Structure 1
């Protein structure tokens, strides 16, 4: 847990004192990611750097897991905090293994344990240890170097991580890949993370909480969904953008809105049985599944009227299907691409897992808006 209490930083300039952080108060629960977001010069990076004392606070307190960090010396404090920056900073004359082992060696790990940790972490971010441990940074792509920079900060298993725009210099395709790998890793490791970003889409995807800064103060600190659905004021509403409803599609998966009990039928099922089942349920469409329970087509109630035989003889190809883990942005994109109001969903093994419909997507978005609006709509 990270707790900031009235954290303040002022800088002396020729024109007088400038307040970079103005009584910042927030708490990041253990195992969560908090994104610090806001325009340039708003104080988010200053707040981050005060946590590991790269910038000394003027006043206020910082507590990590209940311990006041002012009672720790700089070296002791920083050895318990992983720090990742946009510029990465890998040592060019060291192999990837040696880079990852730097901090474990400093804190007294034996080399066998440190090397085992390096291999384990490379595997966590999708880099095969057999191929990457002995390479040098110049032999890796920018995206691969960034992954190594992230796991180097994790090598000595710090309870807290600070990340200052760690993916900002990566191209959009690789950024998505690295973000996904990082979230998988976080799901396993459950670190407490403070993460500076300038990208609202990245914040919505990565954060359990978002703190939106302006002029050294926090304007709103809440879950991404609450911030998008109920911005606290006009500044927050303008900052997150007029398309904030569409941004919320990233926060909900197909699994959360899919109907697992939507009508389905085996290829070998009789038309009469399926027709009766659809009539009883009031549904108009049944998804056709094969012997391995994979969705392979669909039939409509209207087409089955007066027909006989097996369902497989009447099946149309599916327009598309989506994995249950897909977010609703991807689902809606597929719906538009195939001009359809519904899609079959599949589990991790490609088996039929239900149907997601456009009305269900709309209802999911409407659910949060139904609460009392705390600010600008």
Structure 2
């Protein structure tokens, strides 16, 4: 949807020309989010603003849906690109409804249509239209104003959105909520989005692709997982941080590492049966217990089975936590640390056992990327000389 070819911007300054963006080339597929990252002055915001010509490029070109935008009228170009900035930029003398309807009005939409669109978008950003439609920006919190900024950018249903640190000025709790709401919208709307951020954690959470800039150049353009697992050079490695392996936990859902149909017992099974199943499957500490609806309710410790007689329902220990297949591994790791656990049961929406996730399974999954990389490097290396 967005294709950038050799995009360059050179500013004339009293001290001579300064290259802010140097031969930037990249593509953003339709329906994906690309986050531009890098230190201050690296060229990411300049690159973003050249797409809708807030900053004119020195050379290179931008294509949107295959069309070269160089010859397009600037006003028409911007009306077809949603734009969200950190400062939000709502007009203080206009109601929320009027702010959202600005571009649809300019495009000649009838009043009934743009009013309905404002109501639809307020619902979409989780703000009650009956409460907020006639309010003014000064009557809203910063987080609510930022939601309106996103709604306004979506008003005319543009295929492309540009976002310049849109959540950077919001407190961490509200930022997390708004990010989650935005990702829900994106699942339904499938916009093509370029997004400037300074926060690697935000980029990992939001992006399909991450572009890392340095000194006006594009250093690495890849998926979040590949950037974290295989930083191109020392600069990228330092930029993403020493905890990059932990950051990867956010990218993996439980369903990707879950062991389906784990061994388990029921309250009416004997402790001897539980012990036999543990030994059969190589379990050294405990086995899961489910009720008659196949819902996990606790576990039976191996030490109990080895020393007592009776039934599992008389000697089980209650569960402290469960996870769902759609949860990410960061949540799993946090629960494991909080409860001193090495495994957790996974349940579906009805609480029925779906599988289990283990520390060993998580480690194996994350390590697979590095093992594949090592194998590929070995395959590319020349074979050692063999002496006669």
| TM-score normalised by the chain length of structure 2 | 0.91
CA distance in 1: counterparts of 2:367 and 2:20, whole angstroms: 38
8 A Cα contact 1:96 1:133, kept in partner: yes
CA change 1:307–1:43 in 2 (3 A) is: same
8 A Cα contact 2:207 2:224, kept in partner: yes
8 A Cα contact 2:274 2:300, kept in partner: no
CA distance in 2: counterparts of 1:99 and 1:280, whole angstroms: 66
Q: Return the offset for 1:25.
A: 0.4
Q: Secondary structure at the match of 1:138?
A: helix
**1:332 corresponds to:** 333
8 A Cα contact 1:267 1:290, kept in partner: yes
8 A Cα contact 2:164 2:197, kept in partner: yes
Do structure 1's residue 229 and structure 2's residue 193 form an aligned pair? no
8 A Cα contact 1:61 1:70, kept in partner: yes
The residue correspondences of 1:177-326 to structure 2 (distance < 5 A) are: 177-269=177-269, 271=271, 274-284=274-284, 285-305=286-306, 310-326=311-327
CA distance in 1: counterparts of 2:131 and 2:350, whole angstroms: 29
Q: Which moved more, 1:191-200 or 1:117-126?
A: 117-126
Q: Return the offset for 1:244.
A: 1.1
CA distance in 2: counterparts of 1:27 and 1:139, whole angstroms: 40
CA distance in 1: counterparts of 2:312 and 2:103, whole angstroms: 63
**1:150 corresponds to:** 150
8 A Cα contact 2:5 2:26, kept in partner: yes
Q: Which moved more, 1:132-141 or 1:278-287?
A: 278-287
- String of CA shifts for 1:68-114, please: whole Å, max 9, x gaps: 00121011101110000000111222222222122122212222222
Root-mean-square deviation (CA, aligned residues, Å) is 2.1
**1:84 corresponds to:** 84
**1:141 corresponds to:** 141
CA distance in 2: counterparts of 1:342 and 1:197, whole angstroms: 35
Q: Which moved more, 1:178-187 or 1:310-319?
A: 310-319
8 A Cα contact 1:345 1:356, kept in partner: yes
CA distance in 2: counterparts of 1:135 and 1:288, whole angstroms: 54
8 A Cα contact 1:263 1:283, kept in partner: no
**2:386 corresponds to:** none
Q: Secondary structure at the match of 1:298?
A: strand
Q: Return the offset for 1:17.
A: 0.6
Q: Secondary structure at the match of 2:76?
A: helix
CA distance in 1: counterparts of 2:12 and 2:237, whole angstroms: 32
Q: Secondary structure at the match of 1:40?
A: coil
| TM-score normalised by the chain length of structure 1 | 0.93
Q: Any unmatched runs of 5+ in structure 2?
A: 378-388
Q: Return the offset for 1:354.
A: 1.7
- String of CA shifts for 1:174-214, please: whole Å, max 9, x gaps: 11111111111111111000000011111111111001001
Q: Which moved more, 1:211-220 or 1:260-269?
A: 260-269
**1:162 corresponds to:** 162
CA change 1:269–1:93 in 2 (3 A) is: farther
Q: Secondary structure at the match of 1:202?
A: helix
Q: Secondary structure at the match of 2:365?
A: helix
Q: Return the offset for 1:118.
A: 2.1
CA distance in 2: counterparts of 1:332 and 1:48, whole angstroms: 36
**1:116 corresponds to:** 116
The residue correspondences of 1:46-65 to structure 2 (distance < 5 A) are: 46-65=46-65
